[in-house]
C-alpha cells in the first residue's frame, strides 16, 4: 500500500465499530474525507499537516489529533521524512454508551472536541495503551477497561464539556467488588467482559472498575491475569510443558504468557519449572 517506503497495518473489531491503524507515509496524500466515527490519532515520528474547520493544522511527534464524526479533513506529510502515526476510530454509539455508563446515564449526549490537535501526555499515554491492545491479541476485559479509560480521558481533557462520573462508596462499593471478585475466581479461564462483571456486581462497568480497584488494589483484568498465572504455576509443577500450560491457563500465546510470568515472578516459566530441589 502506498510507496515502497510506506507501510500500513489495520485492525477491525468484528462486533462493534472500533478500528485501529498504524502507518508510516511519505508521499501519500489524503483527499478531503470524513469518518462516521470519532477518530483519535497520535503522531509518533515526523509531522503531518491537514486542513480542518477552515484552517491548517500540524501534528508533530507526541501530539494527538481529534476528529468528530463527519468532520471533513485531508492530510499529508509536513516534512520530507514523512510521518508515522497510530489512529483509533471509535463509533459514536460506543463513545456515548461508555460515557452514559460512567455517569449513570447523565452524560448529556455526544461529546464535541473543539481542538483538532492536542498536546497532552495523559491523553497520549491512554490512547497509546489502547492502540497497542487493539492491534495485538488481548482479553476482552483488558480491551474494555482501556477503551473506557481512553474515552473518559479524551472527554475530560479535550471535549467542550467534561463528563460527570458516578462511583460507589462504603458497603455498596465493597459488595459490588466482592461479587465481581467471586465471578473472576469462578470463571477466570473464560473470556469475561466488563459487562459480565458489572452484571454480576449490580452496577455500571465504570463504577465496578473503581470499586474493584479500591477494594483489591488492582483492576479486574489484572486480577484475572494473576489467577491465570497461578493456574499456570500449578500446571508447571505437575510437569506440563510451558506452551501447554499457557494455553490451558487462558493465555492467547506463549510469548504473552512468558512476558507476564517474568513481570510478575521475576523468572521465566522454564526456570520455575526446573527449580525443583
Calpha distance 133→139 (Å, rounded): 9
SS3 111: coil
Q: What is the pLDDT of residue 36?
A: 96
pLDDT above 70 as % of the chain: 97
Q: For the whole prediction, is pTM greater than 0.75?
A: yes
| Burial class of residue 114, CB neighbours in 10 A (0-12, 13-18, 19+) | exposed
**Superfamily per CATH, domain 7-158:** Regulatory protein AraC (2.60.120.280)
Average pLDDT, the chain: 92
**Alpha helices by DSSP H, the chain:** 92-102, 121-134, 140-158, 170-187, 194-201, 205-216, 220-237, 242-248, 254-265, 269-273
User: Would the pLDDT of 275 be above 70?
Assistant: yes
Tens-place pLDDT, residues 124-149: 999 999 999 999 878 899 999 999 99
- Asked if 17 and 40 count as a contact pair (C-beta separation under 8 A), the reply is no
Per the rule left: phi > 0, alpha: psi between -120 and 50, beta: everything else, 82 is: left
User: Would the pLDDT of 213 be above 80?
Assistant: yes
Calpha distance 144→236 (Å, rounded): 30
Calpha distance 92→98 (Å, rounded): 10
User: Would the pLDDT of 2 be above 50?
Assistant: no
User: Would the pLDDT of 161 be above 80?
Assistant: no
> Following CA atoms 25, 28, 34, 36 in sequence, which dihedral angle do they give, to the nearest 10 degrees?
-50
For the chain, how big is the Rg over CA atoms in Å?
21
Q: Which of 145, 138, 146 is nearest to 252 (CA)?
A: 138
* Confidence at 1, pLDDT banded by 50, 70, 90: very low
Locate the domains of the chain by residue range. Answer: 7-158, 170-217, 223-268
Determine the topology of domain 170-217 in CATH. Arc Repressor Mutant, subunit A (1.10.10)
Tens-place pLDDT, residues 47-103: 999 999 999 999 999 999 999 999 999 999 999 999 999 999 999 999 999 998 888
Length of the chain as a residue count: 277
Amino acid at each position: 500500500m502506498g510507496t515502497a517506503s510506506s507501510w500500513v497495518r489495520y485492525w477491525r473489531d468484528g462486533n462493534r465499530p472500533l478500528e485501529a491503524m498504524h502507518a508510516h507515509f511519505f508521499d501519500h496524500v489524503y483527499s478531503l474525507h470524513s469518518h462516521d466515527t470519532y477518530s483519535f490519532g497520535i503522531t509518533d515520528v515526523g509531522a503531518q499537516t491537514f486542513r480542518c474547520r477552515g484552517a491548517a493544522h500540524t501534528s508533530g511527534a507526541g501530539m494527538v489529533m481529534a476528529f468528530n464524526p463527519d468532520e471533513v479533513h485531508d492530510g499529508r506529510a509536513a516534512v520530507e521524512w514523512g510521518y508515522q502515526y497510530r489512529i483509533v476510530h471509535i463509533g459514536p454509539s460506543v463513545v456515548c454508551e461508555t460515557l452514559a455508563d460512567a455517569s449513570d446515564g447523565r452524560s448529556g449526549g455526544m461529546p464535541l472536541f473543539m481542538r483538532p490537535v492536542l498536546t497532552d501526555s495523559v491523553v497520549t499515554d491512554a490512547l497509546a495503551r489502547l492502540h497497542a491492545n487493539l492491534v495485538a491479541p488481548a482479553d476482552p476485559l483488558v480491551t474494555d477497561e482501556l477503551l473506557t479509560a481512553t474515552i473518559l480521558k479524551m472527554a475530560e481533557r479535550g471535549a467542550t464539556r467534561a463528563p460527570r462520573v458516578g462511583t460507589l462508596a462504603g458497603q455498596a462499593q465493597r459488595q459490588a467488588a466482592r461479587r465481581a471478585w467471586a465471578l473472576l475466581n469462578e470463571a477466570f479461564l473464560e473470556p469475561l467482559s466488563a459487562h459480565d462483571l458489572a452484571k454480576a456486581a449490580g452496577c455500571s462497568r465504570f463504577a465496578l472498575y473503581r470499586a474493584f480497584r479500591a477494594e483489591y488494589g488492582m483492576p479486574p483484568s489484572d486480577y484475572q491475569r494473576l489467577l491465570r498465572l497461578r493456574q499456570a504455576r500449578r500446571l508447571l509443577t505437575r510437569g506440563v510443558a510451558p506452551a501447554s500450560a499457557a494455553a490451558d491457563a487462558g493465555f492467547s500465546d506463549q510469548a504473552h504468557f512468558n512476558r507476564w510470568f517474568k513481570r510478575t515472578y521475576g523468572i521465566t516459566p522454564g526456570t520455575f519449572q526446573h527449580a525443583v530441589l
